[in-house]
Amino acid sequence: MNNTQTKTIAIFVILAALMAATREYHFGTALHLPDASLAVFLLAGFYLPRWAFPVLLIEAGLVDYLALNYGGVDGWCFSPAYWFLIPTYFVLWFAGRFYATRYRFSLRSLSEFAAISFAATGAAFLISNASFYLLADYFDKMTAAQYGSQVAQYFLPYLQSAFLYLIAAAVLHIAAVQVSRRAAQA
């Protein structure tokens, strides 16, 4: 196995483990980190080849299945809208792929990463919440505007959860590039 393959497998294992370890707690608690799934899919789009997307989707579904059936997690969020997590995660994956084509090691590129991440996370929020409103059958008596105003309170925690991991990943990426450059100069 060459160095690139080793790095790819290591990044995949880290991202898959992070998602598995955090998926049960959407926004986190005092004792648990928030769900890293949004960041995982965006970072996987940036770092990993195409095969990782379906594998991570299967992992997310399996973790949810186990949490629902064996982990005591309430099934309230599981509805026909659950299938819309596929396009939700695809938006994030695609944003990572898109950023990978634009990436340069620069401050400007870092600000592009932040903007692309914000846009993709916002789109993911809209897809997942709009599909839940339309397909979950819980909101018959609530207008779209009422639902939107209720759900809007979750947007900032949704962004914060994703950006907690994305900022950490950016810092680690910058450190790894710097270490690699110093090693190459030595």
pLDDT tens across 117-137, in order? Answer: 999 999 999 999 888 887 777
pTM: 0.91
DSSP secondary structure, 13-82, as one string: HHHHHHHHHHTT-SS--SSSPPP-HHHHHHHHHHHS-TTHHHHHHHHHHHHHHHHHHHS---GGG-SGGG
pLDDT digits (tens, 9 = 90+) for 9-31: 999 999 999 999 898 755 445 45
- Mean pLDDT over 55-79 rounds to 84
